Structure 1
Amino acid sequence: MPEESKKPVKYDVDGYDAVTDALVSLLNSFPGLEEDEKIRFSTLDEDGGIAFYPVTGAVIALEKKSVTGKVDQLCNYPFYVIYRSSIDSPKIKASIKEFLDTLGKWLEQQTVVINGEQVKLEEYPVLTEERKIEEIIRLTPAHLDNVSDGNVQDWAISISLKYRNIFYKK
């Protein structure tokens, strides 16, 4: 059998910043955050905090080109949300897992209950140019990812943001 040639992975380099900026705003609008909590981009303190980390950038999963020069790309932007805590109690662990799972459901535009109130993300933020978020899906449930010195625990959830990028090439 002939060996299949692997296509090189292509990235929407220009879309990376647009998606990252929109995701920072979207994650920080999550109604389950405490008043003084922020989800930061790729930054965690040694003993606590919440951050998101892109996995590969914006990968072009599918690309269609027409004879008129129209290019239609479906892109994936996979990322992790990491919740770090130095407090080791079963109640805190359950609370962190529930927070991350609820965040994932909310990003999927499911109705979730936060502080006894039903909330739903109605629409995704607008991206730049002709990019549009199609969906956000959880790739894993929340789980304990790492335990480091001093019993500092990193809980993680893997999520993928899919967006469409349509433009014309001359």
Structure 2
Amino acid sequence: MPEAEKSKPVKYDVDGYDIITNALKDLLNSFPGLHKGETIKFSTLEEDSGIDFHPISGPIIVTEKTSVIGKVNQLCNYPFYVVYRTSADSQNSKIDIKEFLDNLGKWLEKQPITIGGEVKKLKNYPVLTDGREITEIARQTPAYLDSTSEGNVQDWVISLALKYRNIFYKNR
């Protein structure tokens, strides 16, 4: 196999995991489509209900460039799912859940959405620490029914990716 075709080992921004996860949790819980008292938890679902998000992997370093003075510029990707679990089985509840997740995806992409007759739009992503900055959040899929388990408990899912830049200096 020619040298250029060999796959590079995947590198992760291990130190950025908690920073990104905590900022994302706060951002998701500021979604205007959440009902009073409703939260989006991190990797925690009840047996028959709840909303959570969980990363597919840690933050992957997609590209990395280092200048002659030791300035490192990384572009990173943090892929994640939002899961909406329900035991409600009416056609209307399924439509509402799909609309909720699709609106969440649009809102995270900074597109306008209508909630309760009001247009809402995310203006800014949260400020991160340690030289990291969110550049984009994008839907990888529309919302869809992922699985149905015993008792007709359904998991509706949307796949998203948070992209961010990480800039730091080596050996300073």
TM-score by length of 1: 0.98
CA distance in 2, matches of 1:116, 1:139: 27
* Per-residue CA distance 1:2-56 (angstroms, 9 max, x = gap): 3721110000001000000000000000000000100000000000000001000
SS in 2 for 1:8: coil
Deviation at 1:64, TM superposition (A): 0.6
* Per-residue CA distance 1:77-123 (angstroms, 9 max, x = gap): 00000000001110000000000000000000001100100010000
CA distance in 2, matches of 1:114, 1:14: 36
- Structure 1: gaps spanning 5 or more residues: none
1:93 counterpart letter in structure 2: K
Partner of 2:8: 7
Partner of 1:61: 62
Q: State the identity %.
A: 66
- Structure 2: gaps spanning 5 or more residues: none
1:79 counterpart letter in structure 2: F
Partner of 2:102: 101
CA distance in 1, matches of 2:42, 2:163: 19
SS in 2 for 1:25: helix
Partner of 1:124: 125
Partner of 1:152: 153
Q: CA RMSD in A?
A: 0.8
SS in 2 for 1:164: strand
Partner of 1:43: 44
* Per-residue CA distance 1:126-148 (angstroms, 9 max, x = gap): 11110000000000000000100
Partner of 1:26: 27
CA distance in 2, matches of 1:18, 1:99: 26
SS in 2 for 1:10: coil
CA distance in 2, matches of 1:87, 1:119: 27
Deviation at 1:62, TM superposition (A): 0.6
CA distance in 1, matches of 2:11, 2:116: 42
SS in 1 for 2:142: coil
